Amino acid sequence: MAVASSPASAPSRDDAPRRITARPSASDRVFRGILRSAGIAVLVITGLILVFLIVQSIPAFRAEGIRFFTTSALLYGNNQFGIAALLPDSVLIALIALAIAFPAGLAAAIYISEYAPQALRRPLIAVMDLLAAIPSIAFALWGLFFLMPRIPGTASWLAQHLGFIPIFHFPMAASPGCRVGSQLAPSINPACFVGSTFIAGIVVSLMVIPIIASLSRQVFSQAPQGEREAAYALGSTRWGMVRTVVLPFGRAGVIGASMLGLGRALGETIAVSFILTPPTSSVNLHVLEGGGNSITAQIANQLFSWSAQGRSDLLAAGLVLFVLTLLINTIASIVISRSRSGAATEAD
Amino acid sequence: MAAATGSLVPEVRVRTSATSAEGVATVAGAALAALALTWLLYERVLPFSGVLGFWLAWYLVFVLLYAAMAAAQSDRLDAVNRVTSVVFGTAGALAFAIVVAVASYALLKGWAAVSRLSFLTTSMQLSGPLLPLSVGGCLHAIVGTLEQLGLATLFSVPLGIAAALFLAEVGGPLTRPVRTIVEAMTALPDLIAGLFIYTLFILSLGFSKSGLMVALALSVTMIPIVTRAAEVVIRIVPGTLREASYALGGSQWRTVWNVILPSARSGLATATVLAMARGIGETAPVLFTAGFTKQLNVNPLSGAQINLPLYIWNYVHVEGEIPADFARGFGACFVLVVLVLILFTIARMIGGSAPGELSKRQRRRLGRQEARP
């Protein structure tokens, strides 16, 4: 306003540079403050989770000390509780899940982004979203009642023919309860394969597929059009184009997506605690054998059956899980965001 | 040679479509041949058993046969191309098959319970531990689920959209850490959200378990989902709309309120409903926060209030003694899957339009307004 009144009366022209940045008005400053605090709230929630889990697990760490990480006993409140068996089992299930979900999710992402006809693309993306939205407890029921009775045939084939691979080794085969059939044609009692980490891993993999598929697809679809056309112009087949343009472009994104999937698999609770029977307290690296445990299953099954000290033990295990998954996921999301050009994100 | 006589040869239309009758027939032939061969080997010759193994073996044989057929039909480069397309295609089909298998299994097994109307209209208040399916139902769990989801949506959607606006519209040095943490939180174990509310509100602040606690735990899992989806939608609002608003002298908050949010309305609604569909099935967060009860509790603010996932957890995993328990669990799963499918369909229906694109009804309304003198 002051500028508008001056030109006629001012005797000398003032050549001072004009302000080119606008000062936000008072209402805008309030508005930006509100939005900023909403953004900060997300950070605060994550921080609060960390703080409160730490506060609650201090008694456990004080009582157990370093043994918390080295003992595999699960005797609560008795200074005999550790995650030495729970954590490896959690990781084992997550790795089985990833071994299935990575190829399946990656192939689905390539199909949706590169091969599917235009008319099929949106429905397939919707299917992936739906797969992510189906409750984990529905997967758990499906795994427990549909998949589990159908596993022993395959599992026993793996145990008998691939038993030389350590993880498929099946030591229970010799135990009297599991050996059935004649001396000449020995076979394994199907009941011995029930409730294994192998089955839990398969069910968890179904929940990881949509994470890997939809994140990888988003990265693939950003592969530069010019380079795709260049590959075709050089006479490449579609697979040649995917192999030389899309996959190298999306490599970081795929790695990040798989890490996010790993985080999701480590934290899966319901399916794991439904399927793993009986819950064990020792590391079992033979994936076909019934029985197993995980941090999540232990917490979900046991949190309310113990005293304050026992609860603190379990919350400490939860803290380890939280720190681990937060670390993996944060690295993953940094990797993914690096792989995208700037902040450009894509619809649907 | 073709070039020299090119003008005399009638032009043949180039087929740009990738599918041909021959290609389809090859795939179908390989599939059928694989089925026959696998059946012969698997069921008759070799000592295999198990449905899962059968289909795995079928798939392997199918890919091998198809590769052989493709190699016989064309050169190596094209054969590799065709085999890879079929392999990727099956992955897409697999995702579809999983959705169908899991959802239809829940619906099929749940029908036994849901077909009795009393299952949907009564609570478990009058039912003892070993009573048959005809006594008691899941009304209290349905009411709890809907109320808790409503509250969680009320908490998480405004916060999530505000955080998304911060990321997309305000910017600054904070956006990078916020975006990273939001992305990391979308894959955070849902169990942790339950533990957080449990330690903060129930252990530290002395609240008792209630529907409100569940809603808070669900909000923790829903906020990052809403934020991520909403940011994507807000980003695709054309920059020209924003600039037009500023050029007319609009302040930032007027621009957001009158231009950006209305343009992104359908996308934001989709983000909200998708987050609701994700939140409704979360089981782990509710284990520690809801509190099991057999009675109908319509007040989410006080007293234990059960919901569908906890109902299933309890009757299948904790009790699970008689067939009726499992039937109850599957019945509740039926209701849960139907609710997810309804939410999902709503999300797809409102999510079809791009920012600024008007629905049929909006266009009609505008037309009426313009027709008026």
H helix or E strand, kind and range, residue A179: strand A179-181
User: If we measure between CA atoms, which residue out of B111, B105, B232, B107 comes closest to residue B165?
Assistant: B232
Query: Residues 6 or more apart from A69 whose CB is under 8 A from it?
Result: A82, A83, A84
Tell me, yes or no, whether A49 lies in a domain.
no
Chain B 33-92, residues with CB within 8 Å of chain A CB atoms: 47-53, 56, 77-78, 80-81, 84-85, 87-92
CA B180 and chain centroid, separation: 22
Which residues of chain A have a CB within 8 Å of the CB of B226?
none
Domain range summary for chain B, segments of one domain joined by +: 22-98, 139-355
Which residues of chain B have a CB within 8 Å of the CB of A337?
176, 179-180, 183
Which residues of chain B have a CB within 8 Å of the CB of A105?
91
pLDDT digits 0-9 by tens, B207-253:
888 889 999 999 999 999 999 889 988 988 888 999 999 899 888 88
- Judged by a CB distance cut-off of 8 A, whether residue B187 touches chain A is yes
Tell me, yes or no, whether A315 lies in a domain.
yes
Q: What is the DSSP string of A253-316?
A: HHHHHHHHHHHHHHH--HHHHHH--SB-SS----TTSB-B--HHHHHHHHGGGS-HHHHHHHHH
Provide the shortest C-alpha distance from residue A329 to chain B (in Å). Answer: 5
Which residues of chain A have a CB within 8 Å of the CB of B353?
none
Place of tokens 């809907």: B146
For residue A120, what are the domain limits? 54-151+194-339
Provide the shortest C-alpha distance from residue B77 to chain A (in Å). Answer: 7
- Judged by a CB distance cut-off of 8 A, whether residue A97 touches chain B is no
Would the CA dihedral through B116, B119, B125, B129 be positive or negative?
positive
Tell me, yes or no, whether A110 lies in a domain.
yes
Provide the shortest C-alpha distance from residue B195 to chain A (in Å). Answer: 8
Task: Report the residue from A131, A325, A343 with minimal CB separation from B188.
Answer: A325
Q: What is the DSSP string of B139-197?
A: HHHHHHHHHHHHHHHHHHHHHHHHHHHIIIII-STTHHHHHHHHHHHHTS-HHHHHHHH
Let me know the angle formed at the C-alpha of B55 by B25 and A274, rounded to the nearest 5 degrees. Answer: 140
Q: What is the mean pLDDT of residues B64-86?
A: 87
CB of A162 closer than 8 Å to CB of A295? no
Query: Residues 6 or more apart from A66 whose CB is under 8 A from it?
Result: none
Which residues of chain A have a CB within 8 Å of the CB of B201?
none
Residue of chain A minimizing CA distance to B90: A108
Q: pLDDT at residue B55 above 90?
A: no
pLDDT given at position B353? 54
pLDDT given at position A2? 45
Report CB contact under 8 Å: A260, B187: yes
pLDDT given at position B359? 63
Tell me, yes or no, whether A158 lies in a domain.
no
Dig out the tokens for A90 from the structure.
Answer: 């959690």
Q: Which residues pair with A292 in a beta bridge?
A: A279
Task: Report the residue from A263, A326, A347 with minimal CB separation from B236.
Answer: A347
Report CB contact under 8 Å: A270, B96: no
In which band, very low, low, confident or very high, does the pLDDT at B358 lie, cut at 50, 70 and 90?
low
Report CB contact under 8 Å: B170, A39: yes
Query: Residues 6 or more apart from B102 whose CB is under 8 A from it?
Result: A134, A138, A139, A142, A206
Beta-carbon contacts below 8 Å between A and B: 323
pLDDT given at position B215? 92
pLDDT digits 0-9 by tens, B168-222:
988 888 888 898 888 888 878 888 888 889 888 888 888 888 889 999 999 999 9
User: If we measure between CA atoms, which residue out of A268, A227, A250 comes closest to residue A112?
Assistant: A250
Distance in angstroms (rounded) separating the CA atoms of residues B260 and B82: 45
Dig out the tokens for A156 from the structure.
Answer: 């026993």
CB of A210 closer than 8 Å to CB of A124? no
Measured distance between the N- and C-terminal CA atoms of chain B, rounded to whole angstroms: 71
Which residues of chain A have a CB within 8 Å of the CB of B209?
none
Q: What is the ipTM of this complex?
A: 0.83
Distance in angstroms (rounded) separating the CA atoms of residues A270 and A287: 19
Task: Report the residue from A52, A139, A337 with minimal CB separation from B196.
Answer: A52
Cis upstream peptide for B189 (omega within 30°): no
Task: Report the residue from A108, A142, A268 with minimal CB separation from B91.
Answer: A108
User: If we measure between CA atoms, which residue out of B212, B201, B220, B194 comes closest to residue B147?
Assistant: B212
- Judged by a CB distance cut-off of 8 A, whether residue A265 touches chain B is no
Report CB contact under 8 Å: B252, A28: yes
Q: Name the architecture of domain B139-355.
A: Orthogonal Bundle (1.10)
Provide the shortest C-alpha distance from residue B227 to chain A (in Å). Answer: 9
Tell me, yes or no, whether A35 lies in a domain.
no
Q: Which residues pair with A181 in a beta bridge?
A: A186
Distance in angstroms (rounded) separating the CA atoms of residues B283 and B266: 29
Q: Which residues of A275-298 are buried (b: 16+ CB within 10 A; e: fewer)?
A: bbeebbbeebebbbbbbbbbbbbb
- Judged by a CB distance cut-off of 8 A, whether residue B109 touches chain A is yes
Mean pLDDT of chain B: 83
Report which of residues B15 and B231 the model is more confident about. B231
Q: Which of A27, A48, A56, A130 to mutate to test the interface with B (most CBs of B within 10 A)?
A: A130
In which band, very low, low, confident or very high, does the pLDDT at B282 lie, cut at 50, 70 and 90?
confident
CB of A165 closer than 8 Å to CB of A198? no
CB of B266 closer than 8 Å to CB of B353? yes
Residue of chain B minimizing CA distance to A148: B52
- Judged by a CB distance cut-off of 8 A, whether residue B24 touches chain A is no
In the 8-state DSSP scheme, what is residue A12?
S
pTM: 0.84
The pLDDT profile of chain A, 348 residues, written as one tens digit per residue, is 444 444 445 555 668 888 777 777 888 889 989 999 999 998 898 888 888 888 888 888 888 778 778 777 777 666 677 788 788 888 989 999 999 999 999 999 999 998 888 888 888 888 888 888 888 899 999 998 888 888 877 777 777 777 777 777 777 666 666 766 666 556 677 777 777 888 899 999 999 999 899 889 988 988 889 999 999 999 888 899 999 999 988 888 898 889 889 988 988 888 888 888 777 777 777 777 777 788 888 888 887 776 777 788 888 888 988 889 888 888 888 888 776 544 344 433
Would the CA dihedral through B35, B39, B45, B48 be positive or negative?
positive
User: If we measure between CA atoms, which residue out of A206, A204, A333 comes closest to residue B101?
Assistant: A206
Provide the shortest C-alpha distance from residue A182 to chain B (in Å). Answer: 15
pLDDT given at position A347? 36
Place of tokens 């056309």: A229
Distance in angstroms (rounded) separating the CA atoms of residues B97 and A300: 30
What CATH number is attached to the domain comprising A286? 1.10.3720.10
Task: Report the residue from B195, B277, B317 with minimal CB separation from A315.
Answer: B195
In the 8-state DSSP scheme, what is residue A221?
T
pLDDT given at position B244? 93
Distance in angstroms (rounded) separating the CA atoms of residues B123 and B296: 6
Q: Which residues of B204-232 are buried (b: 16+ CB within 10 A; e: fewer)?
A: eeebebbbbbbbbbbbbbbbbbbbbbbbb
pLDDT given at position A343? 37
Chain A 219-238, residues with CB within 8 Å of chain B CB atoms: 237-238
Distance in angstroms (rounded) separating the CA atoms of residues B114 and B122: 12
User: If we measure between CA atoms, which residue out of A264, A280, A278 comes closest to residue A211?
Assistant: A264
Total domain count, chain A: 1
pLDDT digits 0-9 by tens, B305-347:
888 999 888 888 888 777 788 888 898 999 999 999 998 888 8
CB of A93 closer than 8 Å to CB of A205? no
- 3-state class of A196 per DSSP? strand
Chain B 203-242, residues with CB within 8 Å of chain A CB atoms: 203-204, 220, 223-224, 227, 231-233, 235-236
